[in-house]
Homo-oligomer: A and B are copies of this chain.
Amino acid sequence: MTDIAAPGHQSTELDRVVIRFAGDSGDGMQLTGDRFTSASAVFGNDLSTLPDYPAEIRAPAGTLAGVSAFQVHISDHDILTPGDSPSVLVAMNPAALKANLHDLLPGGTLIVNSDAFEERNLTKAGYAENPLGDGSLKAFTVYEVPMTSLTVEATKPTGAKPRDAERSKNFFALGVISWMYTRPTEPTLEWIQSKFGNNQTVAEANTLAFKAGYNFGETAELFESNYQVKPAALEPGLYTQISGNVAVAYGLIAAGQLSKLPVFLGSYPITPASDILHELSRHKNFGVRTLQAEDEIAGVSSAIGAAFAGHLAVTTTSGPGIDLKSEAIGLAVSLELPLLIIDIQRGGPSTGLPTKTEQADLLLALFGRHGEAPVPIVAAKTPAHCFEATIEAARIALKYRTPVFLLSDGYLANGAEPWKLPDVATLPDIAVPFADGPNHDRGDGTREFWPYLRDPETLARPWAIPGTPGLEHRIGGLEKADGTGNISYDPANHEHMVRLRQAKVDGIADDIAPVELDDPDGPGGAPVLVVGWGSTYGTIAAAVRRVRARGLKVAQAHLIHLQPFPPNLEDILGRYDKVLVPEMNLGQLAFVLRGRYLTNAQSINKVQGLPFKAAEIESAIVQLLESNP
């Protein structure tokens, strides 16, 4: 395995490469990265991406705060993460260089837009000396390309003013990198046409800039070599590239189809969840209703109303929105109505780091409501897995008539990976029947409807929707008598209901997939078990691979269901003396495992708004392996 794309000769074959595009927020780095990714995807590489952008729409140009970056890992075999550290860094200005250089692997390739390294920008970035001249970049292979002026030159035929023409320089950079990694140019050229088609000047400028960059690579005798990363031998099938948020949106549309219910989304915009609302609102032809509510409370409340009315009801948000929705989620627990609550976690507390990733809302999802108000929790592990996880969450909500949390995070939301499209026909049927008649005998032979009479197996109550004659009923947040659903202040009934709501959630354990244990030596074979949840999956798996590559033994289990836990979890935990839980928080899952099973779970934590690097987890595993028991 080559970690670094070392400069070589004519055309070198690489098994993988990690490239980071970095520039000013206004430089279009996300677009550039995205395009490179798409071209690589269509080319057949396996890949994984990591966008990273500032909270401001456009932070001051040229400053560190304004730097926007996009990292992509492409490979000829299946990979699990966007890569710990790039081996190639494209830096469009000094600030981008400064903010990202420390991540570049020693010996890595650095391509800079030399035009941008003038005094003003250097000062803004806090450079006393121009790093291009002071020898501080010795450790890297540096290519200085005057991208701005070359772009202006190349786009002259469009007649655009230099200020406007400059804006195509990201396409110039894309061209250079596309040449360097022998990407096909057609998909990008086509995409430029379709994306900017309504503004031909811009389309033409971008096309010219892209071609100029590509040709620059080929003709300028600057680069010693270009590189090939062959298509990956992925499982055969039809693939598309998908981000977590789009996968959630597709998952919701799919869940609607699979349950034969109209989807209702009540939501309020918030980073990094808004894109689910955006995506869903484009698919009204599926009968999807999206309501941009006045706030998060109205978002979830309207969803509760829609659930009562018989829709597959959903609310999407991020941490601060979950805080606000807590009271209404408690109502949904009490009403026992199906409801999906989707939390795209971001850096907290409070407004925190809104555009960064974190997984610190697990305890909030578990416990963030007054009283005893248990709610099942499902967590997605990769961008594409968001699709499946969404359907699973919907399945549980519908079958058990309960609100269900789906946890994702900023990293999954915006990260992308190739997704082998499922055969729609094989997706599960998650339809549940509505109540259609009375269900209880009054004792005198006449029948009536009891809204809280339960299915003895699932403990779910009937879902009787308005429009059904004879099933009129009233429900509310006051404690209810089990069965009739009438208000009840009876002490024994309250205890019964509190325990019953918990039992209903606990009982779901029998209806979910057991957690998969990856231990080549069978359960208990390795001395250390790594348990994770959510977006750390790929990184943990990569770390586990690395540890095994060292000839050491380690087991991995990744939880999709956080409440209830899969029934085999306790047994698995019991088989390992050392349990390591990597989390992007201060140890939330670890705490729960300890409290639930008295397992001496140990934490490795990273709370930096950034995903773990495989190396970090690798070294924690190794350390634990080496520690005394």
Contact = CB atoms under 8 A, between A and B. Distances in A.
Contacts of A600: 598
Interface stretch (A194-202, A238-246, A359-367, A420-428): A359-367
Given A333-B350, A347-B479, A609-B494, A371 B358 contact: yes
A65 interface: yes
Contact of A591 (B331, B351, B595): B595
A618 to B, nearest CB: 19
Given A324-B324, A489-B356, A361 B370 contact: yes
Interface string A346-388: 0111111110101011011011111111000000000000000
A360 B371 CA distance: 5
A607 B495 contact: yes
A499 interface: yes
Contacts of A350: 327, 330-331, 333-335, 371, 373, 477-478
A498 interface: yes
B323 A327 contact: yes
Interface string A607-625: 1111000000000000000
Interface in A310-324: 318-320, 322-324
A479 B326 CA distance: 23
A348 B368 contact: no
A333 to B, nearest CB: 5
B327 A320 contact: yes
A379 to B, nearest CB: 15
Interface in A38-96: 54-55, 65
What number of copies of this chain does the assembly contain? 2
Contacts of A478: 55, 350-354
Interface in A434-484: 476-479
A342 to B, nearest CB: 14
B370 A319 contact: yes
A335 B610 CA distance: 23
B491 A610 contact: yes
A290 interface: no
A349 B326 contact: no
A585 interface: yes
Contact of A498 (B327, B477, B491, B607): B607
Given A372-B360, A479-B347, A598 B594 contact: yes
B319 A489 contact: no
A502 interface: yes
Most buried by B among A324, A334, A498: A498
Contacts of A367: 363-364, 366-368
B65 A606 contact: no
A258 interface: no
A293 interface: no
Nearest to A351: B477
A350 B373 CA distance: 8
Contact of A327 (B54, B324, B476, B502): B324
Contacts of A324: 324, 326-327
A345 interface: yes
B356 A330 contact: no
B372 A477 contact: no
Residue of A358, A361, A369, A609 with most chain B CB atoms under a 10 A cut-off? A369
Contacts of A363: 363, 366-367
Contacts of A431: none
A128 interface: no
B356 A334 contact: no
Contacts of A364: 367-370
Contacts of A322: 370
A369 B327 CA distance: 13
A370 B600 CA distance: 25
A261 interface: no
A604 interface: no
A363 B476 CA distance: 24
A569 interface: no
Q: Choose among A367, A591, A592 the residue with the greatest number of B CB atoms under 10 Å from its CB.
A: A367
A491 B54 CA distance: 12
Contacts of A598: 594, 598, 600
Contact of A349 (B318, B358, B370): B370
16 contacts: A55-B489, A65-B489, A320-B327, A322-B370, A323-B326, A326-B326, A347-B479, A347-B494, A351-B478, A353-B479, A363-B367, A366-B367, A368-B368, A372-B585, A489-B609, A598-B598
Interface of A: 54-55, 65, 318-320, 322-324, 326-327, 330-331, 333-335, 345, 347-354, 356, 358, 360-361, 363-364, 366-373, 476-479, 489, 491-492, 494-495, 498-499, 501-502, 585-586, 591-592, 594-596, 598, 600, 606-610
- Nearest 10 CB-CB pairings of A with B: A348-B371, A319-B370, A595-B595, A350-B477, A491-B608, A351-B477, A349-B373, A349-B371, A363-B367, A323-B326
